[in-house]
Amino acid sequence: MIIRFAGFGGQGIVLSSYILGQSAVFDGKKAIQNQAYGSESRGGECRGDVIISADDIYELEPDYQDVLVAMAQPAYEKFVPLLRREGTLMIDQDLIVTDHNIEPAGITRYSISATDIAFKKYGRKIMANMVMLGYLNTVLGLVGRNAMEDAISRNVPRGSAEVNLQAFADGVTLAQQELKKR
C-alpha cells in the first residue's frame, strides 16, 4: 500500500507520514517513509510518502500512489493525477475544490472537514493531521489502533499527547460513521 500525504509546510504532513510508518513497524509490518527535502519542502507544497507491506519492500519511489491524503489545493492538483486507477483519495473538503478532469477513473473519494473540526474543537488547526490520520487508518484498516496511538504519543510535542490522541479519536469516529453509511 503506497500512501502519499500532501499539503503545505506547517500542516504536520511529514509528521503524519512518519507516525504512520513507525506505527506500521510497531505493528510488525514492513514500512518505509520518504519525504520532500530541501527547497522542495519549504513554503510551497509538502509531501510525505509511506509504503506499508507484509513483505520486503523493493519499490523505493513509486511513480503512482494507492492513496492520496490531500490537505491543500496545489498539492491536490499536483498529485491527484498520480493516483492509481481505483485508488483512494482523502481530502480536507474545506480546503480543496476537486476537479474530475484531473482525477484518474474509478477512484474512491472521502471528504472530511479535518481542519474545521480541529479549529472549532481544539482551537488549533494543526490538529487536523491527527483527525485525518484517525480517519485514514480506520477507513483503510492500515495498522492496529494501539500501535498508532503509541506512535502518536512518542512523536507529538511534549505535553500535547492527550489532545492529539483526542483529535485522532475524532477521526476514528468520523470514519466509523462514514463506513456505516457506505
Residue 30 binds to another protein (criterion: CB under 8 A):
yes
Please say whether the beta carbons of 8 and 71 come within 8 A. yes
Task: Provide the 10 A C-beta neighbour count for residue 63.
Answer: 7
Residue 52 dihedral angles phi and psi, to the nearest 5°: -120, 135
| Least distance from another protein to the Cβ atom of residue 24, Å | 8
| Least distance from another protein to the Cβ atom of residue 131, Å | 23
Would you state the cell numbers that stand for residue 125, as one nine-digit string? 488547526
- Name which of 39 and 101 has its Cβ closer to another protein: 39
CA distance linking residue 138 with residue 142, whole number of Å: 7
Interacting span for another protein (CB under 8 A) from 23-31, 67-75, 89-97, 115-123: 23-31
Q: Give me the 52-91 binding string for another protein, x by CB under 8 A, dash otherwise.
A: -----xxxxxxx----------------------------
**CA-CA distances (angstroms) from residue 12 to 55, 127, 145?**
28, 8, 20
Site for another protein, rule CB under 8 A: 18, 21-22, 25, 30-35, 37-40, 57-63
